[in-house]
Amino acid sequence: MAYDFFINLGYLVGAIAFVWGLRLLSSPDTARRGNILAGIGMGLAILSALFTREIAAPSNNYAWILGGMVVGGVVGGFAAKKVKMTDMPQMVSIFNGLGGACAVLLASVELFLMYKGTTAPASNGQLGIILGTVLIGGITFTGSMLAYTKLHGSIWDNTFVLPKHNLINNILLVGLLAFAVYLFILGSAAGTTLGILFLALALIYGASFVIPIGGADMPVVISLLNSFSGLSAAAAGLIYGNNMMLVGGILVGASGTILTVLMCEAMNRSLLNVLIGGFGGGGASAKGADGEQIAKEVSLSDAAIQLFYSQSVVVIPGYGLAVAQAQKIVKEVDDLLSANGVEVRYGIHPVAGRMPGHMNVLLAEADVPYDKLLDLDDANNALKSADFAIIVGANDVVNPAALDDPGSPIYGMPVLEVWNAKHVIVLKRSMNPGYAGIQNPLFFHDKNRMLFGDAKDTMTKLASELKGM
């Protein structure tokens, strides 16, 4: 009894550390402490699990477990040290996928042991949980891996898209659910072949679910798959009666679901629309950009003078800021302007970048005060009275086609209405379209001026111009 008490106590303390750590993650000021605290909770959970009777009984278990922990620890530590901030969305996708892979592997082993008669037939409730874990875990694994390849640029949005792909996905999903019910009814009589077929279809659906999703919607996909990874972990916890897996999985699943709903609202989409895969396909705008339109440029010196003598500036960061690693030089320009009495704030779109909170993380790394970061509604209010809007590497989140072009793939998505500022400056490498693959009429707007070049290099030169004033 005392033995079990201390194991359960370890789980309880670990669960409290998870919840408390998650709470601290809600603010950039305490996020680091929250991450460390959650890590301590995970360490306690692992130690407690290692001393459970099921693991401690066979003496050779520890060799396999410690070997896996060493390999995983080395790989994880190396990745954490070497991964670039621009590659963080890809890393999150891999983590989601590996979480799903663990769950589907555990559930598949239990399912096939039952079919082979090695273990006693599962109860109806247990079999339902196992089949659900295989389904959710399989979708999470292949969906996240495909999301990684799209974020990494290995494949493009329309590489494997089939005609009426969303309809195919919906039929496949209904078929999978019906198949799961059939296996549930058959019980242990279903056999290994049907079990393998069910697993294969779940893996296929996971990849097919992500294939038609456009680049502009990838942050929502990452959030949704993160939720799935938590649900699959919770389901695996139910299979093994492990309270820590259950608590951790529920926390991840619930927080991921809440974030997905909030991001869907920010993009003017319903959660059902996301779940059936009917959103965010890439494509060109029906209206398109007039081929004879010319984007006007501004020189560095003119831009520096106008910004230096302005009263209010709103900076709009995007993925290009992350690629150029320009967040710290943007903060330097912010400091130079603020020293001259210019009010500098940042407009943050919920899906800017390629994962939820991408821009917040970048700016926090550069020590930008959190109270300078404005959400979508506050930023749009601030833009109405701003002298300048500076777009640093953003594209789709400042595209007016979302409001006035019904033929655009992003039509209906709330965007940062930068054209309401008195003047607009867009920092961009070229006139190429953004991640959603569509042209941006903002580039040709009367108020806009283009400042071409690498964001970090351009902002460095702009800072030099400001220092000379």
DSSP annotation string for 158-204? TSSPPTTHHHHHHHHHHHHHHHHHHHHHHGGGS-HHHHHHHHHHHHH
The reported pLDDT for the residue numbered 304 is 93
Task: Quote the pLDDT of residue 275.
Answer: 59
| pLDDT in the model for residue 268 | 73
**pLDDT digit string, tens, across residues 3-24:** 678 888 888 999 999 999 988 9
Q: What is the pLDDT of residue 421?
A: 95
377 exposure class (CB count in 10 Å sphere: 0-12, 13-18, 19+): exposed
Q: Which residues are catalytic?
A: 396
Instruction: Give the helix ranges, DSSP H, for 25-123.
Output: 31-50, 53-56, 61-82, 88-115
Cβ 165 vs Cβ 211: under 8 Å: yes
> For the chain, which residues make up each domain, given as ranges?
87-282, 300-467
Per-residue model confidence (pLDDT) at position 1: 56
Classified as helix, coil or strand, 345 is strand
Residue 199: how many other CB atoms lie within 10 Å: 19
Q: What is the mean pLDDT of the chain?
A: 85
* DSSP 8-state symbol, 461: H
- Kindly give the interhelix angle for 455-467 and 300-308, rounded to the nearest 10 degrees: 60
pLDDT band (50, 70, 90) for residue 57 = low
Does 286 have pLDDT greater than 50? Answer: no
Q: What is the pLDDT of residue 159?
A: 64
Q: Cα-flanking dihedrals φ and ψ of residue 451, to 5°?
A: -125, 95
pLDDT at 273: 67
Kindly state the tokens that stand for 439: 């042209």
Average pLDDT over residues 421-426: 95
Question: pLDDT-derived band of residue 281, with 50, 70 and 90 as boundaries?
Answer: very low
- pLDDT at position 30, please? 85
pLDDT band at residue 167, thresholds of 50, 70 and 90? confident
Considering the entire predicted model, what is its pTM?
A: 0.79
- Which of 107-121, 198-212, 275-289, 345-359 shows the highest mean pLDDT? 198-212
User: Which residues, other chains included, contact 8 with Cβ-Cβ below 8 Å and sequence gap of 6+?
Assistant: 48, 243
Per-residue confidence at 329, pLDDT binned at 50, 70, 90?
Answer: very high
Distances (CA, A) of 164 to 278, 280, 375, 396: 10, 14, 36, 25
The tokens describing 315, both together, are: 């900076």
Name which of 115-119, 156-160, 318-322, 353-357 the model is least confident about. Answer: 156-160
Instruction: Lowest mean pLDDT of 157-166, 444-453, 460-469, name the range.
Output: 157-166
pLDDT tens for 369-400 read 988 999 999 999 999 999 999 999 888 889 99
Asked if 230 contacts 256 with a C-beta cutoff of 8 angstroms, the reply is yes
Show the tokens assigned to 283.
């494509």
- Dist. CA 64–CA 425, nearest whole Å: 58
Rounded Cα distance between 360 and 32, Å, is: 14
Nearest to 355 by CA among 223, 157, 267, 253: 223
Instruction: Evaluate if residue 291 carries a pLDDT over 60.
Output: no
Residue 448, token pair as written in the block: 């806009």
pLDDT at position 289 is 46
Q: Which two tokens stand for residue 344?
A: 């500098």
pLDDT at 284 over 50: no
Instruction: Return the pLDDT at 283.
Output: 44
Mapping DSSP to helix (H, G, I), strand (E, B) and coil, where does residue 314 land? strand
Q: Please give the average per-residue pLDDT across 228-244, as a whole number.
A: 89
212 pLDDT more than 70: yes
What pLDDT was estimated at residue 32? 85
Q: How confident is the model at residue 464 (pLDDT cuts 50, 70, 90)?
A: very high
For residue 60, is pLDDT > 70? no
- Choose between 238 and 285: higher pLDDT: 238
Please write the tens of the pLDDT for every residue from 63-79.
888 888 899 889 888 88
Tokens of 231: 């649900």
CATH superfamily of 300-467: TPP-binding domain (3.40.50.1220)
